[in-house]
């Protein structure tokens, strides 16, 4: 829930970069989404409001032929992990500590 609130907060900072026609309604809708999240509203209520703000921004930006559509299903974490391959552990995993130990010998 906290991550969703942070995402909405960041989106509110970005409203000024939207087409003028979408700014006021987008700001109000994002505020309403925050209220729904804080009240632990049913997911379908949040989803409907989220869909409406996506449609609002899409239309203000020139319509669906101009704006790349969102995927119908968000990518899975497993798919993301698979796309990084086996090279990722040395970047963020334990290998950093292992490399530092070798260097300090």
Answer yes or no: do 64 and 99 share one domain. no
What per-residue confidence (pLDDT) applies to 82? 73
- Angstrom CA distances, 10 to 34, 89, 101, stand at 12, 29, 39
Answer yes or no: do 54 and 9 share one domain. yes
Answer yes or no: do 37 and 63 share one domain. yes
Answer yes or no: do 60 and 97 share one domain. no
What per-residue confidence (pLDDT) applies to 68? 76
Answer yes or no: do 28 and 66 share one domain. yes
Note whether 46 and 33 are within 8 A (CB): yes
Q: What is the mean pLDDT of each run of 10 residues along the chain (105 residues)?
A: 84 88 90 91 91 89 78 74 60 53 55
Domain of residue 31, residue span: 2-70
Q: How many domains does the chain have?
A: 2
Answer yes or no: do 19 and 51 share one domain. yes
Does the pTM surpass 0.75? The reply is no
What per-residue confidence (pLDDT) applies to 60? 87
What per-residue confidence (pLDDT) applies to 72? 76
Answer yes or no: do 64 and 46 share one domain. yes
């Amino acid at each position: 829930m906290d991550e969703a609130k942070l995402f909405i907060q960041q989106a509110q900072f970005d409203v000024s970069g939207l087409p003028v026609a979408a700014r006021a309604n987008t700001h109000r809708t994002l505020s309403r989404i925050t209220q729904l999240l804080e009240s632990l509203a049913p997911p379908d209520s949040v989803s409907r409001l989220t869909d409406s703000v996506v449609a609002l921004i899409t239309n203000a930006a020139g319509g669906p032929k101009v704006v790349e559509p969102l995927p119908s299903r968000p990518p899975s974490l497993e798919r993301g992990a698979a796309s990084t391959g086996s090279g990722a552990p040395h970047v963020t995993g334990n290998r950093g500590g292992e490399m530092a130990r070798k260097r300090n010998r």
